[in-house]
Amino acid sequence: MFDSQIHDLIEQEKQRQINGVELIASENFASKEVIDAMANVLNNKYAEGYPGKRYYGGCEVVDQIENLAKSRLNQLFGTEYANVQPHSGAQANAAIFLACLQAGDTVLGFDLSHGGHLSHGSAVNYSGKIYDAQFYGVEEDTGVIDMDKVEAKAHATKPKLIICGASAYSQDWDYARFRAIADSVGALLLADISHPAGLIATGLLNNPVEHCHIISTTTHKTLRGPRGGVIMMGKNFDNPWGRTTKKGNPIKMSSILNSGVFPGMQGGPLEHIIAAKAVAFNEALTPQYKTYTQQVIKNSQAMASAFIDAGYNIVSGGTVNHLMLLDLRKNTSISGKEADAALGHAHITVNKNMVPFDDKSPFVTSGIRLGTPAITSRGLVESDCQEIVGWIDAILKDHSNESLIKDIGTKVSNKMSQYPLYPSV
Ligand code: DSN
């Protein structure tokens, strides 16, 4: 039965995406091939378990798909272990917590209000309710993490798991130092690279693989795949808690993490999404994808420089990755919420975001987060980013001026009509 209501709403969303400048740092435009790999008969298959060890018959084909996704992911990051079943980044992290921790154990993560992630111990998330969550943050004057303070916090709180990774941090991570700190307190180290994964895969940022025991990431941000999550390990090692099989052999971490995902956290894997992950990983192995990630950073840095030249304050002073956090308190009187709404009316999509040491609530905020993965997928380059900053600046300084916003909205749509979203369709 043709569902005209849903069809029309999908069309409306498609037009919104086509006409707008998409600056949400965690969003991207997956290729048509990735989209197609999700919308097919794989949706119909139950496959609880893992390839070769399923709880359902008829898994011969999906076993091959899942194995292909795992081997491509391992090739992309140079890892030895991959689990491609997590439905999201938050569920990947939940499975890791379940596998590695007991209720009440201490975890040390990056403060959500400084740019961290909900699933790294936030009080409103399972991770902060079930575990004893401790946090490190950035310095108020620099906006950068002080590793000596991370070390002191780790020694004071003795976490079982330390997490590095963020949702809104525009500097790179010192994974080697984090590992030295983790070793000094006997903690496991998890890198959640959901945001910069694609930039790490192509060698443009520090690589956590040799330093961190476990790595999690989403697959839909800079990696430009379907919405989902994965877990990896550079090396598969014996579990550190002395757990053994019935025969007395040490249990490998691969088995413990696999059990954390299924049956610990999830039931049946989404094999259509896993197929799309495999397609995206294959794309990420190409030279074209590396060129794309290089352009993402060039665009981000062009945008950051233009904001700084226009007098704005970027938390941490700039960016080395795909995103930046604007602290609107310096030279505007607008809140993050107002900025998000005003820019949205001009078809420029951003998200309001807390800035470190924010005096406004998470629903209002003093900042906006901007990122370049999506506009770079559309084909925009540095000069386009400078033009977009000019539009944003004009709106932030005069956000009640409806005719200005309308005029910029028209310019945005005209510009984006030159960059077809799916040219082959
Ligand atoms: N919601 C994602 C982001 O925007 O960064 C994190 O889960």
Instruction: Say what the pLDDT of residue 36 is.
Output: 97
Phi-psi region of 23 (alpha: psi -120 to 50; beta: other; left: phi over 0): alpha
Q: Are strands 132-136 and 106-110 parallel, antiparallel or unpaired?
A: parallel
Ligand 1 centroid–CA 360 distance in Å is 20
Instruction: Say what the pLDDT of residue 262 is.
Output: 98
List the residue whose alpha carbon is closest to atom 3 of ligand 1.
Answer: 26
The token pair at 147 is 């590793």
Output the pTM of the full model.
0.97
Instruction: Say what the pLDDT of residue 362 is.
Output: 94
Do the beta carbons of residue 190 and residue 214 sit within 8 Å?
yes
The Cα-based distances of 46 to 54, 62, 112, 262 in angstroms read: 9, 9, 36, 13
List the residue whose alpha carbon is closest to atom 1 of ligand 1.
Answer: 26
What is the set of active-site residues? Answer: 46, 48, 192, 218, 221, 227
d(CA 42, CA 345): 39
Ligand 1 centroid–CA 116 distance in Å is 10
Q: Which atom of ligand 1 is nearest to the CA of 168?
A: 5
Instruction: Give every CB contact of residue 395 below 8 A, 6+ residues apart in sequence.
Output: 339, 342, 343, 346, 348, 404, 405, 408
Q: Quick one: 412 exposed, middle or buried, by C-beta within 10 A (0-12, 13-18, 19+)? A: buried
Instruction: Say what the pLDDT of residue 35 is.
Output: 97
What is the SS3 assignment for 244? strand
Among 283, 117, 122, smallest CA distance to 193 is for: 117
Task: For residue range 281-335, list pLDDT tens digits in order.
Answer: 999 999 999 999 999 999 999 999 999 999 999 999 999 999 999 999 988 889 9
First-to-last C-alpha distance (Å) of the chain: 23
d(CA 6, CA 2): 9
Q: Is the CB of 26 under 6 A from ligand 1?
A: yes
Tell me how far the alpha carbon of residue 141 is from its chain's centroid: 26
List the residue whose alpha carbon is closest to atom 4 of ligand 1.
Answer: 26
**Which of 88, 91, 112, 167 to probe ligand 1 with, by most ligand atoms within 8 A of CB?**
167
Q: Is the CB of 125 under 6 A from ligand 1?
A: no
List the residue whose alpha carbon is closest to atom 6 of ligand 1.
Answer: 167
Q: Which atom of ligand 1 is nearest to the CA of 167?
A: 5
Task: For residue range 340-372, list pLDDT tens digits in order.
Answer: 999 999 999 999 999 999 999 999 999 999 999
Instruction: Give every CB contact of residue 115 below 8 A, 6+ residues apart in sequence.
Output: 138, 166, 167, 168, 169, 315, 325, 356
DSSP letter for 192, please.
Answer: E
Instruction: Say what the pLDDT of residue 330 is.
Output: 85
Q: Is the CB of 365 under 6 A from ligand 1?
A: no
Ligand 1 centroid–CA 408 distance in Å is 27
Ligand 1 centroid–CA 218 distance in Å is 9
d(CA 146, CA 157): 17
DSSP letter for 129, please.
Answer: H
Whether cis (ω within 30° of 0) applies to the bond prior to 226 is: no
Helix (DSSP H) and strand (DSSP E) numbers for the chain? 15, 15
Segment (H or E) for 163: strand 161-164
What is the SS3 assignment for 238? strand
The token pair at 268 is 């049946």
E strand intervals along 210-259: 214-218, 229-233
Q: Which atom of ligand 1 is nearest to the CA of 90?
A: 7
List the residue whose alpha carbon is closest to atom 2 of ligand 1.
Answer: 26
Q: Are strands 348-349 and 21-22 parallel, antiparallel or unpaired?
A: parallel
The runs of H, that is alpha helices, within 202-335 are 253-259, 271-284, 287-309
CB neighbours of residue 183 within 10 Å: 10
Do the beta carbons of residue 120 and residue 113 sit within 8 Å?
no
Among 352, 373, 376, smallest CA distance to 363 is for: 352
Ligand 1 centroid–CA 137 distance in Å is 18
Ligand 1 centroid–CA 246 distance in Å is 41
Instruction: Say what the pLDDT of residue 331 is.
Output: 83
Instruction: Say what the pLDDT of residue 425 is.
Output: 66
- Tell me the average confidence (pLDDT) per consecutive run of 10 residues in the chain, 425 residues long: 98 96 98 97 98 98 98 98 98 98 98 96 96 98 98 98 98 98 98 98 98 98 98 98 95 98 98 98 98 98 98 98 96 94 98 96 97 98 98 97 98 96 78
**Which of 117, 119, 163, 351 to probe ligand 1 with, by most ligand atoms within 8 A of CB?**
117
Instruction: Say what the pLDDT of residue 168 is.
Output: 98
